[in-house]
Chains A and B, each alone.
Chain A
Amino acid sequence: MALTEQEILAGLGKIVNEITGIPAVEVTPEKSFVDDLDIDSLSMVEIAVAAQDEFGVEIPDDQLKHLKTVKDVINFIQA
């Protein structure tokens, strides 16, 4: 069964918090990882690998660079 947006968002919030210390509630769909959450490229790689484990969806490097916002990642995982 496909995960809902809310379920993915909750999972992502947990991952971002674990890796960067940013409170999970601040991880909302419209936020940009770099511009709004101030997450650097190394941490993005960690988040992508953790998301892969959590949701079972591989995020290739050439896709990762296009995923600017939290919503982009949610859409990618749902697709």
Chain B
Amino acid sequence: MSKDRVVVVTGIGATTPVGGDAASTWSALLDGRSGVRTITEDWIDSVPVKFAGLSAVDPGDVLPRPEARRLDRAEQFALIAAREAWQDAGKPEVEPTRLGVAVGSGIGGITTILAAYDVFKEKGWNRLSPFTVPMLMPNGSAGWISIEIGAQAGTHSPVSACATGAEGIAYGVQMIKDGRADVVVAGGTEAAIHPLNIGSFAAMRAMSTRNDEPDRASRPFDKGRDGFVLGEGAGIVVLESEEHARARGAKIYAVAAGAGYSSDAHHIAQPEPSGAGIQSAMRRALESAGLTGADIVHVNAHATSTPAGDVVETIAIKEAVGTHPLVTSTKSMTGHLLGGAGGIESVFTILALTERIVPPTINLDDLDDGIDVDIVRAEPRKLPGGQIAAVNNSFGFGGHNVAVAFTSV
């Protein structure tokens, strides 16, 4: 099997705080609509952050009840997005042993764990759902997707906090390049809007507390940013060898041209201040894709709206790629989906290439000092015609940096 196989994207799926599928999500992003809103749960008084990017469509309204009750919410999002992507790809006929899955979650089934522990304490072990373990395990989503589509080439679940979704896609690309599979369903999912998570992230002072203006709270690159906004949902793509896709006449969105990884080895939760690790990941992504910085017209930035991270990333983009790409942070509208972020943001990067338009970073009223890259503010901006390329950045607690490069077809 050739090592230089070309990998293409033939299907996309997403369920996010701004839309229940990829199309409605994309249209909301181009309209600059925020999905962040006030949480109305009865536990809200126990935490200092009163808002989040709640999913636009509740998965319980989409899935049949018997199915939903045996899935953690993160698995529900993943299955919904995977089904959309699989359908969008035309449900490819593929040998089961040539079909893989690479879908992870940053945190896993935390709402299941906590609810199950309450049942355990109050009613005893015998009242735990027999599905508790498959619901709480972070590889549960990947397992369910593999069963759904009959994937037997290998089912994988990278776990790298907020880089998880991008790492899933990077891993899926590599599976096909290495000749282990012809088709891989890849991405990330998260469902972590729970008071314990909010409390724990708030304890790190990592979250925005702009409780009086939830839809203005996620403001990457803005001087007034005060932390990230938690979001939930999933983003999934169908990756396919170009040969396989062409042979069946599939619609091709983009080429998943390459990926780069690095790790900061610096601090468990803070970005390395020079951005050297981010630069390495981006450079390696370009190298593996056979691209140069000049080819990159767009970067979907990780930029989460924390004071520490956003400016460092722009410096790294400038060093590794240049100041010319149109940079945006769609987290300004979706919030931060943690393990789902790299999944949905890869979908957005792919759509930016196919539609030749970059969604804006909203809430960017006062650009922070030290930012030299071209950030798309307020309104979407057009990308040029011809052969173009874009990068999706995703970074995670633990020091993980992942960059995935896509090119137009």
| A in complex with B | yes
Which positions in A face B, CB cutoff 8 Å?
17-21, 42-43, 45-46, 49
Instruction: Give the size category of B's interface with A.
Output: 10 to 19
Expressed in whole angstroms, the Cα–Cα distance for A19 and B129 within the complex equals: 11
Q: Return chain B residues, CB-CB under 8 Å to A21.
A: 64-67
B129 CB contact (under 8 Å) in A17, A18, A20, A46: A46
Contact B66 A42 (CB under 8 A): no
Is A18 within 8 A of B127, CB to CB? no
Partner of B126, one of A20, A42, A43, A49: A49
User: B69 near A19 (CB under 8 angstroms)?
Assistant: yes
Q: Which of B66, B69, B127 sits near A49, CB closer than 8 Å? A: B127
A-contacting residues, B255-282, CB 8 Å: none
**B130 at the A interface (CB under 8 A):** yes
Interface residues of B in 89-144 (CB under 8 A from A): 126-127, 129-131
Closest to A46 in B: B130
Interchain CA distance A41-B293 in the complex, whole Å: 55
Q: How far is the CA of A45 from the CA of B128 in the complex (A)?
A: 10
Bound together, the chains give a CA A21 to CA B69 distance in angstroms of: 11
A18 is contacted by which of B66, B67, B130, B131 (Cβ under 8 Å)? B66
The distance from the CB of A6 to the nearest CB of chain B, in whole angstroms, is 24
- Seen from chain B, the residues whose Cβ lies within 8 Å of a Cβ on chain A are 64-67, 69, 126-127, 129-131
Chain A interface main SS type:
helix
Chain B: CB-nearest residue to A52: B126
CA distance A34 to B69 in the complex (A): 20
Residues of B within 8 A of A17 (CB): 66
Which residues of chain B are within 8 angstroms of A18 by Cβ–Cβ distance? 65-66
Top 3 A-B pairs, shortest CB-CB distance: A21-B66, A42-B130, A45-B130
Q: List 11 A-B contacts (CB under 8 A).
A: A17-B66, A18-B65, A19-B66, A19-B69, A20-B66, A21-B65, A21-B66, A42-B130, A46-B129, A49-B126, A49-B127
Give Cα A45–Cα B126 distance, bound, in whole angstroms. 10
Q: How far is the CA of A21 from the CA of B68 in the complex (A)?
A: 11
Query: Which residues of A have CB within 8 Å of B127?
Result: 49
Question: Roughly how many angstroms separate A42 CA and B69 CA in the complex, as a whole number?
Answer: 13
Q: In the assembled complex, which residues on chain A have CB atoms less than 8 Å from the CB atom of B66?
A: 17-21
Given A19-B66, A21-B64, 11 more A-B residue pairs with CB atoms under 8 Å apart are: A17-B66, A18-B65, A19-B69, A20-B66, A21-B67, A42-B131, A43-B130, A45-B130, A46-B129, A46-B130, A49-B126
Minimum distance in angstroms from B63 CB to a CB of chain A = 10
Q: A42 contacts which chain B residues (CB < 8 A)?
A: 130-131
Contacts of A20 in B (CB 8 A): 66
Closest-CB distance, B337 to chain A (whole angstroms):
29
From residue A72, how far is it (CB to closest CB) to chain B in Å?
20
In the complex, what residues of A have CB within 8 A of residue B129's CB?
46
In whole angstroms, what is the CA distance A17 to B65 when docked? 10
Nearest-CB residue, chain B, relative to A17: B66
CA distance A20 to B70 in the complex (A): 10
Bound state CA distance, A17 and B129, in angstroms? 16
B65 proximity list for chain A (CB < 8 A) = 18, 21
When C-beta atoms are compared, the residue in chain B nearest to A42 turns out to be: B130
Give CA–CA (A61, B385) in the complex, Å.
66
Closest A residue to B126 by CB, please name it: A49
For residue B64, give the distance in angstroms from its CB to the closest CB of chain A. 6
Residues of chain B with a CB closer than 8 A to A46's CB: 129-131
* B127 to A, closest residue via Cβ: A49
CB of B142, distance to nearest CB on chain A (Å): 19
Q: Which residues of A contact B131 (CB under 8 A)?
A: 42, 46
What residue of chain B has the Cβ atom nearest to residue A16's Cβ? B66
Closest to B69 in A: A19
